[in-house]
Structures are given as C-alpha cells and as structure tokens.
Amino acid sequence: MPKRIPVVENILSANDQLAQQNRQQLDQAGIFAVNLMASPGAGKTTLIEHTVQRLAGEYRLAAIDGDIATSIDADRAAAAGATAIQINTGGQCHLDAVMLRDALQQLDLHQLDLLLVENVGNLVCPADFKLGTHKNVLIASIPEGDDKPYKYPGMYKDVDALVINKIDLLPYIDFDMDYFRRGVELLNPGLVAFPISCRTAQGLDEWLLWIKTNASP
C-alpha cells in the first residue's frame, strides 16, 4: 500500500519553498501582507471592507480573495476601495503558495503597500499551507461557539493574532469568553487578540493600529 505521509510531507515542503519566494517578492516590493483565516461567515470579508475603507487614505491596498466559487468577496473588497483579485479554488478548501504566486502576478506590486489575503472559509486545511504573508490572522466569531480552540487546535496554535468578531452578540448567545480564552492561551500563549464588532465598529481602532504598526518599515 502506498505511504501517504511522505507524499503529504513532500507537498508541504514544496509549498513552503514557494511561500518563501512569495515572501521575498513581497519584501522587495515593500508590501506588508496578512493572511486572514476563519470559518465561513465569521466576518473575513466584512473586516477587509472596514480595513480598506479606514486605511485607504494612508496605504495603497489590494485584496486577494480565495473562495471555492463566485467573485462576491472580491467584488465587495473592490467596492470598498481595494484593488481586488479573486481566486476560485475549484473545490480546494484552502489557498496555497502557488495560488498566491499566480495572483501576485496580476498585481502591480510596486504600486501597493498593504495586501490582505482572504483565505477559503475553513478551520482545518488553511493552517497547513503557508502562503508567504508576513502575518497569519484567525478570525473567530461569537456565534461559532466558545469551544473552537479545543476542537480546531491547529488553527489557533500558530497564528500571529486573533480577531474575535461579533462581540455585540454576546448578550444574546451562550458564549463563555473566559473558557474560550483559556483554550487559546493553552495553544498560543500570549497571543494578541482583538475583540471587535464589525457591525458597531467597537474595537476596530485597536485592530487598525496593529495593522499600521506592523506595516510600518
């Protein structure tokens, strides 16, 4: 019977090498890039919209939106003011370094300062495939429940920041924030977290400050 593990390791190794090339290309162009990951409906696109709208006067922005089908998310990013590229994965549940490389070729990188990459909505596969971005951010949302760090540890343990979206729903949903944060802390001690509401704009200033601080040369 064929051994699956070495095949998977070879795929990930090749992806990691290409991710390094993507990073070099971004660095040479002076672009700060963020990979946004989340389950479907957590608020990735809405957060991108708010980020673009509020930072468009300071940064030249682009968004690369990954999804299984349609250009809905890229259209929303473009309407917010970003140069937008849509990646349709044709069924794959994540973006990979090859897909990002191909999308970068469609952009004039020297005319950009900030790149937001919206990964496919999934709490499993995106954690395994590096893209070459500078930061990986996970968006969790209150309606998903407070058990997600315990059920999907791979997504939480290696990210650089956590956005906790839809906190305006806390009075209406049984969500134990202390339990949630304990699970996060076990996996990723000291992880910076931003409790926000894209609907009310609560907490968005702190998120934007983190972006601006990291994007500064």
* Domain residue ranges in the chain: 4-215
- The pLDDT > 90 percentage for the chain reads 85
pLDDT digits (tens, 9 = 90+) for 161-175: 999 999 999 999 999
**Residue from 14, 1, 43, 212 nearest 142 by CA:** 43
**Residue from 86, 88, 85, 84 nearest 68 by CA:** 88
Instruction: State the fold for domain 4-215.
Output: Rossmann fold (3.40.50)
Confidence of residue 122 (pLDDT cuts 50, 70, 90): very high
pTM: 0.92
Q: Which long-range contacts (CB under 8 A, 24 or more apart) does 173-182 make?
A: 173/142, 173/143, 175/142, 175/145, 175/146, 176/146, 177/146, 179/146, 179/147, 180/140, 180/146, 180/147, 180/148, 180/149
pLDDT of residue 192: 98
Is the CA virtual torsion 49, 167, 69, 125 positive or negative? positive
pLDDT of residue 10: 64
Rounded mean pLDDT, 33-46: 97
Confidence of residue 113 (pLDDT cuts 50, 70, 90): very high
